C-alpha cells in the first residue's frame, strides 16, 4: 500500500520550507508508507507536488541523507535506508544527565602538585622524562555523593602559570573542554570498562574492584602540542550511555 504525501508547505510558518519538507517525508517513512528499500518520489515530482524550487528539495534530501534515513543513487533515485549503524553514536552529552540536578553538582579540588614527568606522562605529553608537570586531582560529586574522580597532568609552562580560575572549574563541560581555555585546538577521548583500584574506591566511597568507566583524554593546542593528559574514573552504576537509532518521534 502506497500512501500519498498529502501535507503541504505552510508559506507563513516560522519553519523554513526545507525543514517542513524534511518532516513531511520523515513522517511518511515513519508511518510505514515508504518501507526500507523503497524509492521516494523523484526530486522533480516533489518539486511539483510542493511547489518549491529544486534547491529546496535538494536541501531537504541532503538533510535526510545526513540523518541516515535515505540514500541516493545518481541516475536512479532516492531510497529509504534500513536502520543501520551509521548514526549509531553515544553522545557524551548524555553523561551530564546522570546528575539529577545540575546545581547540586560540585567539583572539589583534591590536590594540585608540581611534579616531574615519569615515562608514561612524558610520552603522552610529548616531553622528556623529568620535565616539570602539574598534577591535579578533582572529585566530582552530586548531592554530596562522590561520583567521578578526575586526574589530569598538565604541561607546566612558566610563562603561562595556571590561574586559580582554571583549576576551580565548577561545571563538567568546562572540565571536559579543557578548563574553559579557548586555546585548545583538538582532543582525543577513549572510553573503556575498568575496575576501581583500592585508592579510587576509597575516594569514591564504593567497594573496591567494582565496575567502573574510565574516560581518558588528551588535549592539544594550536601548535599540535599535547598540553593535558588525564582521565575520569566513575562508578559504573552511575554512568550509562543511551542512544537511539532509526526513526523516532
Q: Provide the binding-site residues for DNA, judged by CB under 7 A.
A: 16-18, 40, 42-45, 51-56, 58-59, 61-62, 72-78
Tell me which of 7, 36, 65, 122 binds a second copy, using CB under 8 A: 36
Residue with cell 561520583: 147
Pick from 249, 215, 213, 246: nearest CA to 230: 215
94 vs 118 by CB, closer to a second copy = 94
Asked if 15 touches a second copy (CB under 8 A), the answer is: no
CA gap 135, 155 in Å, rounded: 9
- Stretch of 111-119, 137-145, 150-158, 184-192 lying at the interface with a second copy (CB under 8 A): 184-192
54 vs 173 by CB, closer to DNA = 54
Pick from 40, 73, 69: nearest CA to 57: 40
Structure-derived torsion over alpha carbons of residues 242, 109, 171, 237, reported in degrees to the nearest 10: 20
- Stretch of 97-105, 125-133, 156-164, 217-225 lying at the interface with a second copy (CB under 8 A): 217-225
In the bound complex, what is the minimum distance in angstroms from residue 23's beta carbon to DNA?
Answer: 12
CA gap 92, 174 in Å, rounded: 13
In the bound complex, what is the minimum distance in angstroms from residue 5's beta carbon to DNA?
Answer: 14
CA-CA-CA-CA torsion sign (86, 88, 91, 97): positive
Amino acid at each position: 500500500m502506497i500512501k500519498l504525501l498529502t501535507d503541504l508547505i505552510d508559506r507563513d510558518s516560522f519553519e523554513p520550507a526545507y525543514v517542513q519538507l524534511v518532516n513531511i517525508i520523515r513522517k511518511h517513512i515513519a508511518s510505514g508508507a515508504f518501507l526500507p528499500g523503497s524509492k521516494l518520489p523523484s526530486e522533480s515530482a516533489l518539486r511539483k507536488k510542493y511547489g518549491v524550487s529544486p534547491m529546496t528539495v535538494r536541501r531537504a534530501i541532503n538533510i535526510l541523507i545526513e540523518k541516515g534515513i535515505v540514500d541516493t543513487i545518481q541516475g536512479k533515485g532516492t531510497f529509504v535506508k534500513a536502520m543501520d549503524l551509521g548514526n549509531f553514536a553515544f553522545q557524551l552529552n548524555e553523561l551530564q544527565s546522570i546528575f539529577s540536578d545540575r546545581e547540586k553538582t560540585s567539583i572539589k579540588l583534591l590536590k594540585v602538585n608540581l611534579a616531574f614527568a615519569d615515562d608514561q606522562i612524558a610520552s603522552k605529553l610529548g616531553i622528556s622524562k623529568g620535565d616539570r608537570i602539574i598534577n591535579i586531582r578533582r572529585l566530582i560529586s552530586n548531592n554530596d555523593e562522590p561520583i567521578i574522580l578526575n586526574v589530569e597532568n598538565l604541561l607546566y609552562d612558566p610563562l603561562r602559570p595556571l590561574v586559580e580560575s582554571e583549576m576551580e572549574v565548577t561545571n563538567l563541560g568546562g572540565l571536559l573542554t579543557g578548563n574553559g581555555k579557548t586555546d585548545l585546538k583538538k582532543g582525543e577521548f577513549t572510553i573503556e570498562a575498568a575496575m576501581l583500584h583500592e585508592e579510587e574506591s576509597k575516594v569514591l566511597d564504593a567497594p573496591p574492584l567494582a565496575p567502573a568507566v574510565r574516560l581518558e583524554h588528551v588535549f592539544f593546542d594550536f601548535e599540535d602540542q599535547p598540553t593535558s593528559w588525564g582521565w575520569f574514573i566513575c562508578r559504573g552504576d552511575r554512568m550509562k550511555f543511551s542512544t537511539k537509532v532509526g526513526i523516532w518521534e
